[in-house]
Each structure stands twice: as C-alpha cells, then as structure tokens.
Amino acid sequence: MLAYLQNLTFWDWLALGTVLLILEVFGAGGYLLWIGVAAAGVGVLTYVIPETPWALQFILFGSLSILTAVFWWRRQRSAEHVAGHSGLNSRGQELQGRQFTLHEAIVGGRGKIKAGDSLWLVIGPDMPVGTPVEVIGQDGVLLKVRAVAL
C-alpha cells in the first residue's frame, strides 16, 4: 500500500475527484463537491509538477479540502442570512411607509390602491377616490392605510 501511495499520479487524483463528484450527485449536501474539487486541484498540480512528493500531495489535499469546505460553509451561512430577509410570502411589507393614491374609494372599511402594476386591497377609514394614503401595516393580504395630511 505504501508503494502505491508513493507513486500516485495525476490520474489517481482526478479519479478520486471524479468519484467524489459522482457521490455528491447522490445528495451529500455540498461537502463532497468541494473535497472533489480539492482532489482535482491536487491532480492538476501533480500534472504540472509530476515529481511532487506523495506526503506533500496529501498535505495539499487535506489543506485544500478544509479550505474549500470552510469557504462553502461560510458562503452557505451568508446565503441563509440573505434568504431570511427575502420578503418571500410577505410582499406587502415592502410597501409599508410608502404613500399611494386610492384607486377605489374605501367604503365600509375596504378599498384599493395601485402599487406599481398591481392593485392591492386596503382597509382603513372611509375615504374618496384620489385621496393620498400611507401604508401603515398589513393584515394577511390586506394593507392597512391611513390618510396622509397634505
């Protein structure tokens, strides 16, 4: 076994990288992807510098595996942080604090405003069409509005 390890070629590293990438396809969650990339990187290095000692190859493989896994982990954490504030399923929150003109009068506590190319149902005190209103909250799909003092 030691004789095999002492005579590793770039093909061995590329084969290991390929096997790891194939295993990643079956759902390893990203970890084997980066370890496979590290193995391929060592394979490229041993192609460029074929006399690289086997111990250095393993040190490089371990170091690259750790570095790429940490890089992936940090990137995933930052992506989760950004995704947590995406506004998905709460589109009305982005309208809070903005002012609009009533598109349909609020009668019986309900009316409509036009925000961009969408009509939104609003609730608030009765007001005529054209009244400037400010969105102050959201109740499900209904936006809460109040009249804006001019």
pLDDT digits (tens, 9 = 90+) for 8-60: 888 999 999 999 999 999 887 777 888 999 999 999 999 999 988 999 999 99
Residues 18 and 79 in one domain: yes
What is the residue range of 51's domain? 2-83
- Among residues of the chain, what percentage have pLDDT more than 70? 91
Residue 73 pLDDT exceeds 70: yes
Looking up residue 95, the CATH number of its domain turns out to be 2.40.50.140
Residues 73 and 16 in one domain: yes
Residue 81 pLDDT exceeds 70: no
pLDDT digits over 18-30, tens only? 999 999 998 877 7
Residues 77 and 98 in one domain: no
Instruction: Using the 3D structure, point to which of 83, 110, 136 is the last residue of a domain.
Output: 83
Residues 15 and 70 in one domain: yes
Number of domains in the chain: 2
Confidence class for position 85, pLDDT limits 50, 70, 90: low
Residues 17 and 67 in one domain: yes
Residues 73 and 31 in one domain: yes
Residues 21 and 75 in one domain: yes
Residues 6 or more apart in contact with residue 141 via CB below 8 angstroms: 92, 121
Residues 75 and 106 in one domain: no
Q: Would you state the pLDDT for residue 112?
A: 95
pLDDT digits over 90-129, tens only? 677 888 999 999 999 999 999 999 988 889 999 999 999 9
Residues 32 and 96 in one domain: no
Residues 96 and 73 in one domain: no
Residues 53 and 9 in one domain: yes
Q: Beta strand 118-123 with 142-147: parallel, antiparallel or unpaired?
A: parallel
Instruction: Using the 3D structure, point to which of 66, 83, 100 is the last residue of a domain.
Output: 83
